[in-house]
Structure 1
Amino acid sequence: MDIDVELSAPATQKDLPADLVWRLLRHPGARRSAALLRRDLTAGQIEEIIALGSVRTLAANASVPSPVRARFAKHPEPSVRCAVAASVRDEPPGLLAELAEDPDPSVRSFLAMNDHLPPDLLARLATDPESSVRSSLIPRWRDVPVSVRRMLLTDTDPGIRRRSARAFTPPADLLPGLLADPATRAAAVAHTVPTAELAADPDSDVREAVASHPELPAVLRTLLADDPDIYVRNAVAARADTPYALRQRIVATLEPDNPIAEWVLSYRRGNHTCPPAAPAPADLTRQQAEDLLTRAGL
């Protein structure tokens, strides 16, 4: 095994003696693993990691003390501020609001993924001038007020409208507009009654959404079973109410041109197989760890 790969295991081993952790920090790969995943880094080790240039990785470690992560929020490199913005808490108070005003939109985008944001900051980010920030917020905000939901569903950016339509149940009065909008039509199908017109839509994403609709009439199911698009036919095959014979006939027509497509199709039908997870490496004894460090010249 490559020595660099071998060093990644003790770098995150919980009971590794502190003196061996210090030696591991001299190796770039092991240092990054320790910086990201160790929960027991001492103040001295943290400063050593910073001095050795792995501050961006360290900033993503939620176990680093709050005062240190607050320092990272003021780091001159946006990538460091991004790493801390995604998970930092409001310690000291006002830190999250400060990050919400960061001049770099990538920092605000990472902040929008933070699970510790209060409603007022979520609302502020929902009106951010950068679409990437608004987009990052959509899948993370569960209890979106109706006023904000309406605003995002009618956003000027089609990508924001599309993502919002997939994430939120739309107010009834917005549904006709969402069905008429090419960006949101497929997502809006789930909130309306499937019709023959929708089942014949030129957009295959719309037809696939119809094929997945829980109230799909049997006549439309039979029609979509012969759809020219492989993903539409697969959606019909994945339905619990599709007769066995029809399902078998459809599956016989599903011939994707690459292994990834085959996996996606079989996943949708619930009969995919995942490779077994690799076993976790065994913890090293002190002697084994010292021997490894010696071989690595550490």
Structure 2
Amino acid sequence: MWRLLLHPAARRSAALLRRDLTEQQIEEIIELGSARSLAANSSVPADVRAPLAEHPEPSVRCGVAASVADEPPGLPARLADDPDPSVRSFLAMNDHLPPELLARLAADPEPSVRSSIIQHWRDAPDRVRRALLTDADPNIRRDSVLTYSPPADLLPGLLADPVTRAATVPYAPPSPELATDPDSAVREAAAAHPDLPTGLRDLLADDPDIFVRNAIAARPDTPSVLRERIAATVETDSPLTEWILSSRRNPHTCPSPAPAPPILTREQAEALLAKADL
């Protein structure tokens, strides 16, 4: 391990992942400039974590914020007052936070912190969801609709908001108004609506936007004859666009993860260390 600490990449991995680092090894890691990786290691003792939470580099404090439990007591609450918003954003990703601290971050004045809460607190209570769904920042409102199911009383306002209209379509009954909306994103959302009537489906099958027509072709209830007719009209010269369109019509599953590498023998480990001049 001491030899590995001399290699920058190996040192960062050890600092981040090892659960058996000694006090001397921790000091060496900090001395060699890998305090950021060490700060994100949830197995670091509390007496080491507390000084790292006061580190002058925000990136180090971010590492602490992302992994800290309430040890030493009150540390997460102190990090919630960190002057750097990136630290508070990383704190919002922490799985150990109590609901009251998450709610406090959900009302943070920095939009990036509130955005982090939306991404990581999927079971936020109703009052927090409502606040985020009606946030003054348009990006926060849009991301909230994409994450949380809006309550019925907020639907009219969200549908009237150009920023959240497309994201709200799945929660509203499909209508001719939505199917003919000037915003193609709204029409595409209408085309994917699970309760889309046949008449609106056929209307959107001839939409001028290629992505709207493709959404109709991707529907499981679209007749094969109509699907083939639409597929012939969504050809493009862009390989990336073609891949996006075809993947939506023909969803695929990801391959199985690669098996874990075998445990190295002492001889193999020595050979690798020698190759790295360690």
Provide, for residues 110-129 of structure 1, a one-character-per-residue CA deviation record: whole Å limited to 9, x for no partner. 11111221121111112111
In structure 1, distance between residues paired with 2:124 and 2:234 = 39
Aligned to 1:294: 274
Number of the residue aligned with 1:202: 182
1:63, 1:258 → 2: CA distance?
48
Q: In structure 1, how many angstroms separate the alpha carbons of the residues matched to 2:45 and 2:218?
A: 48
CA displacement at 1:203 relative to structure 2: 1.4
Distance, in Å, in 1 between the alignment partners of 2:240 and 2:22 is 44
Aligned to 1:91: 71
Other structure's SS at 2:61 match:
helix
TM-score w.r.t. length of structure 1: 0.86
Task: Please list the CA deviations of residues 196-254 of structure 1 after superposition, one character each: whole Å capped at 9, or x if unmatched.
Answer: 11111121211111111111111111121222223222222221111122222222333
Aligned counterparts, 1:54-93, within 5 A = 54-93=34-73
AA matched with 2:69? R
- Using the TM superposition, give the Cα deviation of residue 276 of structure 1 relative to its aligned residue in structure 2, in angstroms: 6.6
Match of 2:219 among 230, 234, 239: 239
SS at match of 2:71: coil
| 8 Å Cα contact 1:266/1:272 also seen in 2 | no
Q: Which residue number in structure 2 is paired with residue 213 of structure 1?
A: 193
1:24, CA displacement in angstroms? 1.1
Cα displacement (A) at 1:66:
3.7
CA drift at 1:280: 4.3
- Pairing partner for 1:125 from 94, 105, 114: 105
Counterpart of 1:86 in 2: which secondary structure? helix
CA distance in 1, matches of 2:245, 2:88: 36
Return the letter of the residue paired with 1:64. V
Deviations along 1:102-156, whole A, 9 cap, x unmatched?
0111111111111221121111112111111111111222332322222211111
Task: Quote the Cα distance in structure 1 between the aligned partners of 2:21 and 2:250.
Answer: 43
Counterpart amino acid of 1:161?
R
Which residue, 135, 158, 162 being the options, matches 1:155? 135
Distance 1:220 1:118, change over 3 A: same
Q: More displaced, 81-90 or 41-50?
A: 41-50
Shift of residue 289 of structure 1? 1.4
* 1:159-185 Cα deviation digits (max 9, x unpaired): 011111111222222211110101110
Q: CA 1:288/1:143 → structure 2, altered by over 3 Å: closer, same or farther?
A: closer
Distance 1:88 1:290, change over 3 A: same
- Using the alignment, how far apart are the partners of 1:80 and 1:249 within structure 2? 56
Rounded to whole Å, the distance in 1 between the matches of 2:47 and 2:90 is: 20
Question: 2:32 matched to 1:46?
Answer: no
1:162-173 counterparts in 2 under 5 A?
Answer: 162-173=142-153
CA distance in 2, matches of 1:286, 1:41: 20
**Number of residues paired by the alignment?**
278
* SS of equivalent to 2:252: coil
Mapped contact 1:231–1:265 kept (Cα < 8 A): yes
Cα RMSD after superposing both structures: 2.0
Distance 1:149 1:204 in 2: 27
- Which stretch has the larger CA shift, 58-67 or 266-275? 266-275
> Within the alignment, does 1:250 sit opposite 2:250 as a pair?
no
Of residues 54-63 and 64-73 in structure 1, the stretch that sits farther from structure 2 once superposed is 64-73
Unaligned runs of 5+ in 1: 1-20
Match of 2:244 in 1: 264
Q: Is the Cα contact below 8 Å between 1:39 and 1:64 reproduced in 2?
A: yes
Q: CA deviation at 1:266?
A: 3.5
Judged with a 3 Å threshold, the aligned counterparts in structure 2 of structure 1 residues 129 and 45 are, in CA distance, closer, same or farther, namely same
The alpha-carbon deviation at position 277 of structure 1 amounts to 4.9
Matches of 2:46 and 2:207, distance apart in 1: 56
Asked which structure has the greater RCO (Cα within 8 Å, sep 6+), the reply is 1
Unaligned runs of 5+ in 2: none
